[in-house]
Structure 1
Amino acid sequence: MEKSITFAMLEDQDRQDLIRTISDSYQFAHDPPTTAKESYFDSFDWLLHNENLVLLKHDDTYCLKDMESSKVVAECPWEHKDVTRFWWDFPDCEIAALLKSCLDVRALLPFLEIEKRSEKLHILNEDEKTVLRVYLDEINPVGDAPIQKTIRTITLEPVRGYLKEFHDFYQFIEGTKVAEPCENLFNMMLKLSPRKPGDYSSKMKVALTRDMSGSMATRKILLYLLNVMKQNEEGVISDIDTEFLHDFRVSGRRTRSALSQIKDVFPDAKLDRFKEDFRELGQSSNKLRDLDVYLHKKEEYLAMLPVDLRPGLDPFFMDLEKQRKKELKGFTEVLRSDFYRQLVTDWEAFLVSDGDYDMPARNAEKPVITLAREFIWRRYTKIMKAGAKIDNETPDENLHSLRIQCKKLRYLMEFFASLFPSGEIALLTKQLKRFQDNLGEFNDLSMQQGTLKEYLDTINPESDQNMLIAAAIGGLITNLNVRQHHVRAEFSDQFRNFGQKNNRLLFKQLFKDGDRTTAKREVIL
């Protein structure tokens, strides 16, 4: 069966004139006009749009739609007054499962609200049977829209068994020259939204050219990171979801990494104050982020314990919630402080200045491609030497140090990715990330056990309730320790995979040997 087809009416055409034109050639039944409001939702970073999906609410129903076909993928009745924010706010239904897979911990945010006035025509044949349904819609934005414009559409919905009538009416509408076929109504509606898909991403997307100077390229990288921080400020303060803080912190950490690794492109004296201020800013949210991670792991932690021990974790998580409120309040005050506002103002002013210094830094005018290769190759060789020395007897601290080295390499590769062939840099980044996952999980498990042990030390085991808490915490520590030993045992295989010959050759060709006409792509995935 043919799918529905939508036309967009030309701006100088009138809907009532169209209805009169249709009545001259067709008989039809005319339903009374209806008016409804629709709200469209996605995450701040457009995770649904990236999967070609959109969530909308109309009347008392949420619908998850495919954007290209407008087909409803799943729907869920909603009788509550409150608007849902997270996938877990939905009852156990298909929409909840699909949103969970796309959004994880990200909140649903409205990006477009419209009012739709609809008229429905039932095109009839000589026997007065409906052979086609025609919807005439007027769509107007509600609230703060960049363009206060009405979109008027004609949608033809075929009826099974009457394909000829569908095609005849399609040609009839084309002949009236009052409308043009609309390939994607949703894209038209997006023009009414104050936000646009892709207007935010936490991923590094800095377009550099190989002939850029080191200082110019670094300014561009740092301005991008500053903009990401600024985009996340309000989400952190409003506590919309925990990923706003995560993205804010990652951009701050990348900033500190760039200042320490991309050496001698700015005079050191100009950077000392900024290095210290960004370090202080990062430290001010460390505990808040740790608490977010622990709270996200609640279900995972509970699943590690026998059912009868799980209630023992309730006081632990209640205490974490109280601490989080306190830490969020403190960090919100930091973001509203003179210290932070002055840091952002001064940092941006420094980055957009012409940088005309009396004594330019040693690498300021060097081509960025030269610096990128030098810095990445140096960091990579350090990692390979350090990793080769690690065995089963190596202290845990050495793995933690290697994790930091890998993070620095990852940041460098992200900063300068646009300077290298996208396929090759993506392959190496994927390999590095897999190795980082092993080191990161090992570190996380170590930190989590430390936090739980500190909490265990505060429990006075005199009551039955406290005994249950201590048993639950102790059981959790045991499980985490078992997992940590398993992850540690996987290190040698993960390092061997990262250091395989094809990876080594590709790192060497891209970052040590310079330009080549070909680079091996046979990296084992």
Structure 2
Amino acid sequence: MDWINKIYLNPSQSDQAWSKLNCDKLFKFEAINMWHNVLIKGENIMNKHLKSLAHQVNDYLKNDNKADAKKALTVSIEKLHDLRVATRKWLAVMNPDDEMVASFKKIIQASNKVRDMDVFLWEILPTFPESWQADLVALQAGLQDSRAELNSQFKVLLETELVDELVRAKKRLVKHAHAFESAHGRHKMPFKEIEKRLKTAVKELKLLDLEDKQLHKIRLLIKRLRYQLEHFYPEEHKALALTETIQERLGLFHDQYQAMNLLDKHQSLLTPHMFEQTYAFLQHEKQRTISALRQFLTK
């Protein structure tokens, strides 16, 4: 383990150790998992979130319980969610202009389809009427097969590309701690700007003619504002509560929107009548979700 300590505790002597790390694919995420043992003077918020992300990557890659496939699937769903949250929180404290932002966004982009299927299969599908469930078996089986394939592809991407980016980010964070802290401070959004953007978003959400894609953009903005508040203004409880509520309800709306897309893509697994019923059901639920949010915002 000396080469790991050299990388993180004495970067100026890390060339040989770094070469060893780059050659040793099997132990890269093991090295990442040891970051909690690294003592960095004046540990900042960026280091905290990078370590959290590293742990989530490690846990996700290690989840391979072949003896209990059902348990492994349950853990996989939970770990994927945790991994995506940790990634978003890390991105929220990075300088948006940093060259590594695009690499970490890959974690979100590459796992979107897996997450959409998880939500549909285990959150949306059970909400359909009980009398429909027998007609949805083929759809459920088809989506589970697709989910397994997409999950395998995502793990390969993590192991072959993104783990390298995590290790590289850690090396930069240790070696250039002061520069990272400065960049971190530069993209801290003033609270008045957060209030302004939040007020504008609420105003837009009350409009009746918004398209689904516009609502998606507002959801991403609200998510960013929430993470800014959590990182920099945790004492602003009222603003935090508002962003949390909006994000939760727009998240449900987005899940229902994506579920309709999945139905449309896999309608061959349903009878024409069942497809029409399930699609109309989701359209109705989606409208109820946004109506409830608008009612909340007008109180």
TM range, smaller chain = 0.7 to 0.9
In structure 1, runs of 5+ residues without a counterpart are 1-198, 200-215, 262-267, 460-465, 498-525
Distance 1:344 1:445 in 2: 33
Report 1:232-243 matches (<5 A): 232-237=56-61, 238-239=63-64, 240=72, 241=75, 242-243=77-78
- What residue number does 1:442 align with? 253
Give the CA deviation at 1:306.
Answer: 5.0
- Aligned match of 2:94: 259
The 1-side partners of 2:214 and 2:288 are apart by 17
Q: For 1:105-504, what aligned pairs fall within 5 Å after superposition?
A: 220-237=44-61, 238-239=63-64, 240=72, 241=75, 242-259=77-94, 268=97, 271-272=98-99, 274-297=100-123, 301-305=125-129, 307=131, 309-337=132-160, 339-355=161-177, 364=182, 372=188, 374-389=189-204, 390-417=206-233, 421=235, 425-456=236-267, 458-459=268-269, 467=271, 470-497=272-299
Deviations 1:440-487 (A, max 9, x none): 22222111111111211x35xxxxxx53xx433332221111111112
Given that 1:305 and 1:476 are in contact with CA atoms closer than 8 Å, whether structure 2 keeps it comes out as no
Cα 1:375–1:277, aligned 2, differ >3 Å: closer, same or farther? same
Match of 1:105 in 2: none
CA distance change for structure 1 residues 493 and 255 in 2, over 3 Å: closer, same or farther?
A: same
Change (3 A) 1:354 1:392: closer
- 2:126 and 2:134 map into 1 onto residues whose CA distance is 9
**CA–CA separation in structure 2 for the residues paired with 1:480 and 1:243:** 24
**Shift of residue 302, structure 1, vs aligned partner:** 4.2
The answer as to whether partners of 1:380 and 1:409 remain within 8 angstroms in 2 is: no
Aligned 8 A contact 2:219 2:251 in 1: yes
Residue 246 (structure 1) shift: 0.9
The CA RMSD over aligned residues, in Å, is: 2.9
- CA gap of 1:386–1:473, structure 2 versus 1, over 3 A, is same
Counterpart amino acid of residue 248 in structure 1: L
AA aligned to 1:291 is M
- 1:248 shift after superposition: 0.9
Aligned length: 248
In the TM superposition, what is the alpha-carbon distance from 1:334 to its structure 2 partner?
Answer: 2.1
Alpha-carbon distance in 2 for matches of 1:343, 1:398: 32
Structure 1 equivalent of residue 28 of structure 2: none
Q: How big is each residue's C-alpha offset from its partner over 1:164-187, in whole Å with a ceiling of 9 and x where there is no partner?
A: xxxxxxxxxxxxxxxxxxxxxxxx
Q: What's the TM-score once normalised by structure 1's chain length?
A: 0.43
Identity %: 19
**Which is richer in strand?**
1
Q: How does 1:81-100 map to 2 (within 5 A)?
A: none
Q: Larger relative CO (CA 8 A, sep 6+): 1 or 2? A: 2
The Cα shift of 1:336 comes to 2.3
Letter in 2 for 1:249: R
AA partner of residue 129 (structure 2): L
Relative distance call for 1:285 and 1:302 in structure 2 (3 A) is: closer
What are the superposed Cα offsets for residues 189-248 of structure 1, whole Å, 9 maximum, x if unpaired? xxxxxxxxxx9xxxxxxxxxxxxxxxx99x822222221222223432215402111111
Task: Tell me the distance in 2 between the aligned counterparts of 1:354 and 1:404.
Answer: 30
Task: Provide TM-score, normalisation by structure 2.
Answer: 0.72
Distance of 2:183 and 2:106 partners within structure 1? 30
What CA distance in whole angstroms lies between the structure 2 residues aligned with 1:310 and 1:252? 35
More helix by share: 2
> Letter of the aligned partner of 2:264 in structure 1?
K
Structure 2 gap ranges (5+) = 1-35, 65-71
Secondary structure of the structure 2 residue equivalent to 1:280: helix
